[in-house]
């Protein structure tokens, strides 16, 4: 077994369209496996390698084609528990209640809008993605069934891309999605990582593929 010490590893890039939901048996089980085995190992707690392998074999048999990236990332995090955070781009729809409207710059979207979020997973990716179904984001609601994984980057040590690098690409290609109070006009970004629409997906995907190594 690899020790997880810092050594150079390739950057792995994936671009696709994987619609994920905790109602999907595969995704739900992948989240459980990540939390039970991979995240616990990253915390330096003892876990069963045999149990992990058995669960991974079962997951690979049931995984949709575009979902194998979650299992590949689980395997990588298992082998290198101290690897840098995996990076991701997801798209989904958000909505606000009647006292707010959604804007990006001068463009108005009404009370519903599609958005792309760029983020990082410090432990395994599947459990990190599950959070988007388990909680709200700064006063906006995520439309059930709208979450789609579009870009994933993971790797090890100095070869790995930083979140700041991916954010810089996103900032040059898109505008932050904001919620604006109808009466006061106060503007607040949904988050510092949520961009209006999905126009940045192509750019961050191209950047990811360009940084990937064999």
pLDDT tens for the chain, 214 residues long, are 343 444 455 899 999 999 999 999 999 999 999 999 999 999 999 999 999 999 999 999 999 999 999 999 999 999 999 999 999 999 999 999 889 999 999 999 999 999 999 999 999 999 999 999 987 787 899 999 999 999 999 998 777 999 999 999 999 999 999 999 988 989 999 999 999 999 999 999 999 999 887 5
Instruction: Provide the sign of the torsion angle of the four alpha carbons 208, 210, 212, 214, taken in this order.
Output: positive
Neighbours of 108 (CB within 10 A): 11
Note the Cα 160 to chain centre separation in Å: 16
Structure tokens at 41: 């190992």
Parallel, antiparallel, or unpaired: how do β-strands 112-121 and 86-95 relate? antiparallel
Spatial distance between the Cα atoms of 155 and 149, rounded to a whole number of angstroms:
18
Spatial distance between the Cα atoms of 149 and 143, rounded to a whole number of angstroms:
15
Give the closest residue to 171 by CA, choosing from 108, 209, 211, 116: 116
Give the closest residue to 86 by CA, choosing from 20, 28, 13, 18: 13
Pick left, alpha or beta for residue 138 (phi over 0 → left; psi -120 to 50 → alpha; otherwise beta).
Answer: left
pLDDT score, position 43: 95
Give the closest residue to 118 by CA, choosing from 89, 142, 94: 89
φ, ψ dihedrals at 102, nearest 5° = -105, 135
Return all residues near 79 (Cβ < 8 A) that are at least 6 apart.
Answer: 1, 2, 4
pLDDT score, position 7: 44
Query: Which residue has 């990937």 as its token pair?
Result: 212
pLDDT score, position 214: 52
Greatest extent of the chain over all pairs of C-alpha atoms, in Å: 60
């Amino acid at each position: 077994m690899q020790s997880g010490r810092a050594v150079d590893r390739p950057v792995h890039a994936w671009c696709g369209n994987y619609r994920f939901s905790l109602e999907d048996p595969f995704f739900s089980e992948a989240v459980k496996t990540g939390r039970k085995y991979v995240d616990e190992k990253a915390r330096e707690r003892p876990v069963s390698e045999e149990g992990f392998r058995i669960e991974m074999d079962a997951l690979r048999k049931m995984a949709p084609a575009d979902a194998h990236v979650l299992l590949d990332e689980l395997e990588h995090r298992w082998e290198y528990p101290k690897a840098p955070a995996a990076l991701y781009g997801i798209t989904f729809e958000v909505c606000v209640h009647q006292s707010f409207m959604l804007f990006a710059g001068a463009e108005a979207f009404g009370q519903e809008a599609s958005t792309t979020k760029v983020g990082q997973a410090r432990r395994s990716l599947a459990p990190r993605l599950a959070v988007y179904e388990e909680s709200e984001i700064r006063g906006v609601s995520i439309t059930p069934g709208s979450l789609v994984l579009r870009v994933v980057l993971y790797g090890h040590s100095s070869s790995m891309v930083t979140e700041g690098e991916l954010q810089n690409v996103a900032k040059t290609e898109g505008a932050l999605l904001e919620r604006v109070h109808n009466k006061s006009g106060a503007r607040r970004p949904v988050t510092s990582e949520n961009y209006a629409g999905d126009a940045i997906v192509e750019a961050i995907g191209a950047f990811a593929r360009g940084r990937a190594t064999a």
